[in-house]
Amino acid sequence: MKTPIAYLNENDGTGIFAFGEGPRFVLNSNEELEEMQSFINAHKGRYLFTTLSYDLKSTIQGLSSKNKDNQEFPLATIWAPESVVSIQHDSIKEFLFGSSSAQKIKFVNSFFLTKLNPSPLNANFQARLSKKDYLQHIEQLKYEIQMGTIYEVNFCQEFYAENVQIEHPAEVYFKLNEITQAPFSCYISMPDFEVFCGSPERFIKKQSNKLISQPIKGTSKRGKSKQEDVGLKSILLNDPKERAENVMIVDLVRNDLSRIAKKNSVSVDELFGIYTFETVHQMISTISCEIEDSITFTDILKATFPMGSMTGAPKHSAMQLIEKHEDFQRGLYSGSIGYIAPNGDFDFNVVIRSLIYNTKNKYLSCPVGGAITIQSKPEAEYDECNTKVQSILQGMNA
């Protein structure tokens, strides 16, 4: 049996690497959310590496889905690994949990050796949704916005490959990371799944009694020169559509956090920040609040999950329309990966720019999405989605 692994890579030379068998909680039904909190409570004082499927919304928001589930990813997993180490420049800095041994050091070093020569993926991806159908859905969603049902919605489509054999999954992760170079990048290896994530987005972080959320809304391609790059960043910052998308999600996050925040503690720390990544520029805002000691991890999930940047506003209505118009269950895509530290602090990303691989049925999924507002132009939205996904898919096969 393969050794379970979680590697959370900040792409600044630092990261956290977890490995080895340990207690594991898997949520597969809609009735066990409190059991998740019980597992967390029972393993207080340990590192808990966690995946949260977008479809956990069915439990939290009282929704359901009849769309096909090709990923078959669990609603949630929590794993207390045998060993956790901090990483500095692809080497062990220190053991954070578990004792050191020559065998463990060899295992970690061998993982990072795969970074040296990652091979192409060679997967034949296809879009589940035709361009014609995509454009029709965007028009229909714009009609819903015009009628006042929603203000904004994140509409996604799936690119997928079947009968994919991945012999060296760590190489696939490092290949993706060469392309994305993102601060919330991660690799998860579980018994039935491999997850290759190049996310630039934080969902939520807890530091003592402070919560921080950093939604991304607004995307621009990178320029071919420094001068063009500067111009594209300026265009993104001043684009009325992108600013409208961003501020609507900021308001949604403020509303979510206010459900659990101390009175008058919700704050917008940064609005319309422009950040540059390997393949795109992004508009990111930062919202924070303070919470009482009694607020639990699942209390926070109930108030904030799924993240507004991947749903739309109002959140419940947007999610209903997502189920109506999308033709697949998102699974881990649009969900979150992160860890809970022994002291209860945590940090979770948004699973975007990612490949999710079911090792049993050899199914590889790479969804992509974008925010739709009344100002959206269907052709432009289609092009933006393709810009995002093709930079990954073409790069992975190169």
- What residues are labeled active site? 201, 217
Q: How many CA atoms lie within 13 A of 377 on its CB side?
A: 6
Bridge partners, 283 (sequence order)? 274
- 263 and 294 Cβ atoms separated by less than 8 Å: no
Q: How far is CA 148 from the centre of its chain?
A: 29
Q: Quick one: which of 164, 67, 173 has its CA closest to 365?
A: 164
- Which of 138, 68, 132 lies closest to 330, judged by CA? 68
What is the tally of helices (H) and strands (E) in the chain?
10, 21
Alpha carbon distance 8, 11 (integer Å): 9
In sequence order, which residues have a C-beta less than 8 Å from that of residue 167 and are 6 or more positions away? none
Residues forming a β-bridge with 348 = 204, 338
Question: CA-CA distances (angstroms) from residue 236 to 2, 150, 220, 250?
Answer: 44, 24, 6, 17
Token representation of residue 66: 């009849």
37 three-class SS? helix
Q: How many other CB atoms are found less than 10 A from the CB of residue 242?
A: 23
Answer for the pair 214, 251: CB distance below 8 angstroms, yes or no: no
Alpha-carbon Rg for the chain in angstroms: 20
Q: How far is CA 64 from CA 162, 241, 319, in A?
A: 26, 31, 10
- Tell me which DSSP letter residue 228 carries: H
Residue 201 CB coordination number (10 Å): 24
Q: Bridge-partner residues for 264, per DSSP?
A: none
Q: Which of 83, 80, 63, 71 is nearest to 18 (CA)?
A: 83
